[in-house]
Amino acid sequence: MKIDNLPFGTTDWSQVDTTEHPGVTGKALWRTCKFGDIRVRMVEYTPGYLADHWCVKGHVLLCLEGELHTELEDGRTFVLKPGMSYQVADNAEPHRSSTAVGARLFIVD
């Protein structure tokens, strides 16, 4: 990721509008800011959330609260707890998220 032409700024996430994205079960609540080609999100998954697609977008993702389960298309699985992160490149390894208890995440992509 290369960050160009981005002046210093702050974000009050409580002031950013929320959009709702349904999963197969549960939903994702996104607060999204765009800075040129960079998308920065605060995402909350409700308990019981299961993504409705295999994602191929690259991300840097930090788990802030709850527990996130990430399944790769090749069958590997990973569990993130608060303070843990993952990173994946665009079109590298399709992945999908789920959570039994809910999760709050900070994502840059």
Q: What are the sequence ranges of the domains in the chain?
A: 20-108
Using the predicted structure, report yes or no on whether residue 1 has a pLDDT greater than 80.
Answer: no
What residue ranges in the chain does DSSP mark as E strands? 18-22, 27-35, 38-45, 49-50, 59-66, 68-72, 77-80, 85-88, 95-99, 103-108
As to burial, measured by CB atoms within 10 angstroms (0-12 exposed, 13-18 middle, 19+ buried), residue 99 is buried
Using the predicted structure, report yes or no on whether residue 87 has a pLDDT greater than 80.
Answer: yes
Compute how many other C-beta atoms are within 10 angstroms of the C-beta atom of residue 105: 23
> Which superfamily, per CATH, for 20-108?
Jelly Rolls (2.60.120.10)
What's the predicted TM-score (pTM) here? 0.93
Q: Please give the Cα distance from 94 to 64 (Å, whole number).
A: 23
